[in-house]
Amino acid sequence: MSSTSETNQVAGLLTKLRISGAAEMAAVTDGLVKVMMAGARYPGFWSAEILPPAVNSRGEWTLVQRFSTAAETADWMQSELRKELLEALRAVAPGRILTWDEVLNEPGAEGTVATAVVTDVKAGMEALYWDWESKIQSAQARFPGYRGTYIQPPPPDRPGRWTTLIRFETPESLNAWLLSEERKSLLSESNLLVSTTHFQNMSSSFPGWFPLEHIPIWKTASLVLIAVFPVVIGLKAFLLPLMKGQNSTLVLILGTFITVAVLSFVLMPVLVRSFRWWLNPEPEKAARLNAAGALIVVAILLLQAILFWDL
């Protein structure tokens, strides 16, 4: 990311349209994505996002495109390519686009739940990845609960690294999209195009230990409790006797360091892999798997209490 002074210079272009009816919704979202992705290749591009109609907004869609300067924003706004894409977008719903507004602005973000996706594109696959990104952007824009997407192109020091922020109304709607068959099918198409994909949940606790899609806080806290308990007992049984008579602050610092290291590099990776089926269950099996996972967690805690009772 750039410095604060550079960020303050970013100029945003809002393209708003309102349509009547939903018959051409797929074509409208496809058209907006084409405008968004074309702008991302334009000089000075900073970021972009599509915001679907909010409640009681009468079907108003908003495309936000940001560029490094107002001059670059104006260049894109007046470009022939953009004009052609907008004319094609108008043509998909003849007579149904009721309003069409364009303003230079910088709106606040919308949405309540977000997941960041960082994708490393293989060298030489950029053009194919561009086409694939357009497809998945169109698909998720039509998914129930969608509240917007923010995309950022690769920074100069990390060529090929794309960042996408997906926003949905609720954890349930976000999880439904992340686990949907449509998304799984699209992801399978990208296997030859990307080397790695990282997920960063923006709305849950312990994001470094749980690099998955949205996970309820009570589940993350339960697994952390399972991991912390034996480490604390071990420190009490072995570290404290060894450091008897030492400065209490030094003992506390060392104990905290050991706890974080063991959790981060040993216990949490194992627990996350072992409980992946419970952390993000398939929607049709969620009730049964959630109950089963909760019972297993309680059983492990009881077993730990029995084993360490006299320590």
Give the pLDDT confidence score for residue 105 in this predicted structure: 52
pLDDT above 80 (res 191) = yes
Class of domain 4-201: alpha beta
In percent, the amount of the chain with pLDDT more than 90 equals 8
In tens, the pLDDT along 203-238 reads 444 545 555 445 677 888 888 889 888 888 888 888
Angle at 19 between CA 101 and CA 145, to 5 degrees: 100
What pLDDT shows up at residue 263?
84
pLDDT at 106: 45
Q: Which of 20-29, 199-208, 210-219, 280-289 has the lowest mean pLDDT?
A: 199-208
Q: Which of 2-6, 147-151, 165-169, 194-198 has the lowest mean pLDDT?
A: 2-6
pLDDT digits (tens, 9 = 90+) for 296-307: 999 999 998 888
Residue 311 confidence (pLDDT) above 80: no
Work out the widest C-alpha separation in the chain, in whole angstroms.
83
Domain boundaries, the chain: 4-201, 217-307
How many other C-beta atoms lie within 10 A of the C-beta of residue 104? 12
pLDDT at 112 exceeding the cut of 70: no
157: left (phi over 0), alpha (psi -120 to 50) or beta: alpha
Residue 175: name the closest of 209, 133, 204 by CA: 204
Distance CA 263, CA 211 (A): 15
pLDDT in tens, 53-70: 765 456 677 788 888 777
Give residue 283's pLDDT. Answer: 61
Backbone angles phi, psi at 51, to 5 degrees: -115, 120
Residue 156 CB neighbours (<10 A): 5
Measuring CA to CA, how many Å separate 96 from each of 31, 100, 165, 215, 255? Answer: 15, 11, 30, 40, 66
Pairing of β 161-168 and β 11-19: unpaired
Look up the pTM and report it: 0.48
Residues β-bridged to residue 100: 17
Q: What is the predicted pLDDT for the residue at 109?
A: 41
Residue 284 pLDDT > 50:
yes
pLDDT at residue number 303: 92
**Mean pLDDT (the chain, rounded):** 77
Distance CA 262, CA 260 (A): 6
Q: Note the pLDDT of residue 201.
A: 55
